[in-house]
Amino acid sequence: MDLQQMRYVVAVAETRNFTRAAERCSVVQSALSHRIAGLERELGVRLFARSSRRVELTSAGTAFLAAARECLAAADRAVADASAAAGVVRGRLAVGVLVTTAAVDVPELLARYRARYPDVRVLLRAGGSDELAAAIRDGDLDIAFLGLPEGERPAGVETLVLDDDAHVLVVPAGHRLAGASRVALAEVAGETFVDFVDGTPARAQSDRAFTAAGLVRDVAYEAGVAELITRLIARGLGIALLPSAFVEPLAADDPELALVPVVDGPRRIEYLAWSRFNPSPAARAMLDVLGVGPRT
């Protein structure tokens, strides 16, 4: 058994397709299939159930996959640590990005990082703040950019506040409130709302504001992507409360949207989050680019 065989197993498990896995690993499919078959013979178990149309992990494959990922992560860390000791930063940096991140220009940040550390491979993962914080705690992400309701901090991770931002009301350009100088939650509680999925931090920001005001609203549409929310609003299907720093650039380029300040609306705190436990050289390098010193 060797690390390359483990990489092949992980690739097949994630793509559920031998052809796509071979493309990811830059190897011909026959060679990848041969190596996995040899590993299965060595282990005495089948790792994958195969048919002409489907590839799925067996129970033995599921157990092997978790350990294989741990082995590969340890091997990558060993290479990165050895390189760092020699003054060269290598390895992988896994970055979680909230879809509505506005406090940091992520592409510009990655360009600066790439210029200083060209040997690091960066993996980007989008998701909700709770999901990304959990991934940091589990060791699946090195750093992440999060957004949480005012008064709530990510648990189990090191954090730095990046921005404090008020929500604005987003309405269709032809809405009765378009052009208003400001609005209170009581004035819009009877409207149809579009919002993020229930139970997420992004949704909680608006839910808590209405609850604190003693108001009930109708959320008729739920979406996991902010851009989809604004598209639904533009079509006149509802209104929403969104962070101003995120939505203002979108509205500036979209004449179908109008923004209205909210006097008693929610606020969002944007955080940089990273692991407290033994950050990798690549992660420490990113913290340095961000101007964050080491913390203990």
CATH of range 91-162+270-289; options 3.60.70.12, 3.30.70.20, 3.30.530.20, 3.40.190.10: 3.40.190.10
Where does the pLDDT of residue 86 fall: very low under 50, low under 70, confident under 90, or very high at 90 and above? low
pLDDT of residue 17 exceeding 80: yes
Q: Is 135's pLDDT higher than 60?
A: yes
Among 77-86, 108-117, 179-188, where is mean pLDDT lowest?
77-86
Please, where are the H alpha helices in the chain? 3-15, 18-24, 29-43, 59-85, 106-116, 129-137, 185-188, 201-212, 226-234, 244-252, 281-289
Mean pLDDT of 197-213: 92
Q: How much is the average pLDDT of 74-98? A: 77
Q: What is the pLDDT of residue 296?
A: 42
The contacts of residue 238 (CB under 8 Å, 6+ apart) are 191, 192, 193, 194, 220, 221, 232
Assigned superfamily of 165-266: Periplasmic binding protein-like II (3.40.190.10)
pLDDT over 60 at 294, yes or no: no
pLDDT classification of 175: cutoffs 50, 70, 90 = very high
Residue 133 has pLDDT above 60, yes or no: yes
Long-range contacts of 51-60 (CB under 8 A, 24+ apart): 54/16, 55/12, 55/16, 55/17, 55/18, 56/16, 57/13
Residue 257 has pLDDT above 70, yes or no: yes
Same fold, 3-85 and 91-162+270-289: no
Contact indicator for 178, 260 with CB cutoff of 8 Å: yes
The answer, yes or no, to whether residue 129 has pLDDT greater than 70, is yes
Output the DSSP codes for 112-164. HHHHH-TTEEEEEEEE-HHHHHHHHHTTS-SEEEEEEETT---SSSEEEEEEE
Please report, for the chain, the start and end positions of each structural domain, with discontinuous segments joined by +. Answer: 3-85, 91-162+270-289, 165-266
CATH of 3-85 given 3.30.200.20, 3.40.50.1100, 1.10.10.10, 2.40.110.10: 1.10.10.10
Is the model's pLDDT at 115 over the cut of 90?
yes
Model confidence at 274, in pLDDT bands (50, 70, 90)? very high
Decide which of 276 and 55 is more confident: 55
Q: Residue 83 above 80 pLDDT? A: no
